[in-house]
Amino acid sequence: MVDYKRAKFFMGIVTAACLLLACGFNSFAAKGTAAAMSEGEKLERQMWADIKAKKWPAVMDRLAMGFQSVYADGVRDYKQEVGLLKSLNPGKIGLSGFYVTEKGPVIVVTYRISVEETIDGKRVSVKDAPRQSVWLRTENGWKWIAHANLNQPSQ
């Protein structure tokens, strides 16, 4: 399952997308930033609440068919991510440090999370770790198109 070349390539794409979005802003205080922060944080908080509550129809409705994620062990597509989300069994969730940028139909949300969860059958630490999500506005609402999990499995 581990495809490190693909994982590095995907991380490069996510990084490039973030840089392109960031270059589109004259300053962080640009018009609309406050609304983008509110919307991006709201999207992440709602997604985590639905995952924790196991509201799978709501989660899958917001997951884009072209979804990709990257974890320490490799890249996942839509189908693999759905399987992973259903097996997470998250405990108490703490979200903080939101940094949100919006450009056109895209919102990039970087934040920190502390949550005990299961990834590939391994319980992952509760410690605070960075995450990044990319959301795409469609005619059917916001869709979660990409996610980077920078947490490391417990040794």
CATH of residue 39's domain is: 3.10.450.50
How large is the C-alpha radius of gyration of the chain? 15
Q: Is residue 155 part of a domain?
A: no
Q: Which structural domain range is residue 65 located in?
A: 4-149
Q: Is residue 39 part of a domain?
A: yes
| Interatomic CA distance for residues 122 and 111, integer angstroms | 23
pLDDT confidence of residue 118: 76
Q: Is residue 37 part of a domain?
A: yes
Please write the tens of the pLDDT for every residue from 37-52: 469 999 999 999 999 9
pLDDT category at 139 given cuts 50, 70, 90 is very high
Q: Which residues contact 138 (CB under 8 A, 6 or more apart)?
A: 64, 105
Give yes or no for a contact between 143 and 63, defined as CB atoms under 8 angstroms apart: yes
Q: Is residue 47 part of a domain?
A: yes
Total structural domains within the chain: 1
- Average pLDDT along the chain: 80
Q: Is residue 154 part of a domain?
A: no
pLDDT confidence of residue 25: 38
